[in-house]
Amino acid sequence: MKIILKYISFAALIAMLYASISVFRGTMPKETYHVWALVGTVIWFVTVPFWMKRRLHH
Amino acid sequence: MSTPQKNASLVERLDALYEYDRQPVTEKNLHGWKIFWATFAGEHIAGTEFVIGPLFVMHGCTATDVLLGLLIGNFLAVLSWAFVCAPIAVKTRLTQYWQLRKLGGPWLTVAYSAVFGVIMCVLAGAMLRVSMTSIALPFERFFADPGMTAGILPGWMWIILAVVVGSVIAILAVLGFEGMAIFSKMSAPWMVIVFFIAAIATLPSLGCHSLSDFWHIANEKIWTGQVAQGMGRFTIWHVIGFSWLCNMPQHIGMGDMTILRYAKKWQMGFCSCAGMYLGHYCAWIASGILCAAAIQAGIATDPGPIAYLGAGFTGAICVVVAGWNVASPTLYRAGLALQITTPNWSRWRVTLVVGAVMIVCACIPAIIKHLDLLVTTNALLLVPLGGFIFIDIWLFPKLGLQPNIAEKTGSLISWPAAVAWIAATCFSIAAFIYKDCDPIFPIFLVLPEWAVAVVLYILFSFIQQRSAPVTQTVNA
């Protein structure tokens, strides 16, 4: 389960990057890119606590 | 569990956050590479990058000045962390405050800690202010004139924002190194992406539609070499100097002994390259691009508005998170520094007090406008003492001088360190006045001041130890 969530987290970041490159290439409107970026952000912060270590070893 | 027990438990839990400040870190508490990559990346990809990147645009840098100057300056900074700060942190496992106490005595440590703590509070206030420029964006609509989309927030609104946002930052800092590192670790990869996407998506608005356009647009539209009104001209030397010296209190000044004393190996000092090249290279370039686009669009060049321009709400959120990521460790350092000056106050109590000072500082708008001068002042005041630690550990044994002289003699203050510190600071002040108080000149004063301080410290230590040889050993 953790590994799936990890893939989802990084897929969200890649999607954000893809959206901005699409704006750069002129194939996506800036408003759509803003939505992609916000959705990617939400997915990142929802999924990352489940797989990233939350405690350090003292 | 009864209520009194619960209350006692809360205090005990907070006191348990005490992190071996006054003792060397033990083997079982050391951390591996991952946490240092994340800590450096998180700390140096911060809200201030949205301020400093535009600085190079405003100061009339050319594209070559910025792209090459930052490459060299950040390389020097990484070397300073890896070869100056990290080996000493790993060797002593102490904070710089306690190492300084050994060589300079408790009174010097108290003075240093007080100065350091106050500067850190002011810097944390600046970080908080940066976050607030983003949080203020939706509220600006309520104060807009008819027909306008945004207005100017009144002073009382900024105070409310400072209290609310500052309280969250203070709580994060109270949680200590662990809480700070977890927050930093979780948000760091996302922040890097946001800086990248904001810059990439903004380039078309500047006329850059392919990679081959970039160099032309960089020179013609971004780093044009035109100095903004009221700003001094930066050359490539200013860029190299600023990018190397802006974190000098942390590396050559030994401030990051606080963090790197947890490192298993001194080589972990190289993890600073994550912060330097992602934060102080890519992020500064990205925010420079955003600044140029904001100027072109007639938008304010504050962190919040330019981030919003680049990535919408995501950009605004990034400024808030990036501000927290640097404000929290800054407040943590302030707490550590000022704890030493209190009558055995616990960490959480000290951190809450410095958090209140940070909130007051964040209410002052000038604090962000003069960020570059604040950063330079920080370096000028603190770097000499880092030099003393370096010389005391590596050079004194080779010169036949006794290191940790204050600890060995049991003195309250070691005069060579105190006099050298004051004299070196006076040297910088005199040089600054001699150059007609040029606000961009102090960048070039930090290294000469370090050299003056170190030479005087060695000279005075010779005089001290030859005139009164160390015969008595007392634990300070």
pLDDT in tens, A10-50: 999 999 999 999 999 999 999 999 999 999 999 999 999 88
Q: What percent of chain B has pLDDT over 70?
A: 89
The beta-carbon neighbor of A23 closest among B182, B201, B315 is: B201
| Model confidence, pTM | 0.84
Q: Quickly list H helices, B136-271.
A: 137-140, 155-174, 176-202, 211-217, 236-245, 257-260
> What was the ipTM of the complex prediction?
0.94
CA–CA separation, B198 and B313 (whole Å): 11
Torsion of CA B342, B348, B349, B350, to 10 degrees: 40
Per DSSP (E only), the strands in B73-133 are none
Mean pLDDT value across chain B? 84
CATH number of B24-370: 1.10.4160.10
The beta-carbon neighbor of B181 closest among A21, A41, A56 is: A56
| Tokens encoding B249 | 């209190």
Mutate to test the interface with A, among B30, B183, B190, B289 (most CBs of A within 10 A): B190
Mutate to test the interface with B, among A30, A31, A36 (most CBs of B within 10 A): A30
Asked whether the predicted pLDDT for residue B189 surpasses 70, the reply is yes
Hey, how many other C-beta atoms are within 10 angstroms of the C-beta on B457?
Answer: 29
Q: What percent of chain B has pLDDT over 90?
A: 38
How far A12 CA sits from the closest chain B CA (Å)? 9
Residue B202, pLDDT score: 95
- Does A23 lie at the interface with B, CB-CB under 8 angstroms? yes
Type of residue found at B42: G
**Which of B80, B98, B99 has the alpha carbon at shortest distance from B251?**
B80
The beta-carbon neighbor of B201 closest among A33, A48, A58 is: A33
Domain coordinates of chain B in residue numbers?
Answer: 24-370
B-chain CB neighbours of A54 within 8 Å are 182
Q: If you count residue pairs, one on A and one on B, with CB atoms under 8 Å apart, how many are there? A: 79
Is residue B192 within 8 Å of residue B278, measured between CB atoms?
yes
- Does A58 lie at the interface with B, CB-CB under 8 angstroms? yes
Is residue B161 within 8 Å of residue B154, measured between CB atoms?
no
The beta-carbon neighbor of B314 closest among A17, A37, A55 is: A37
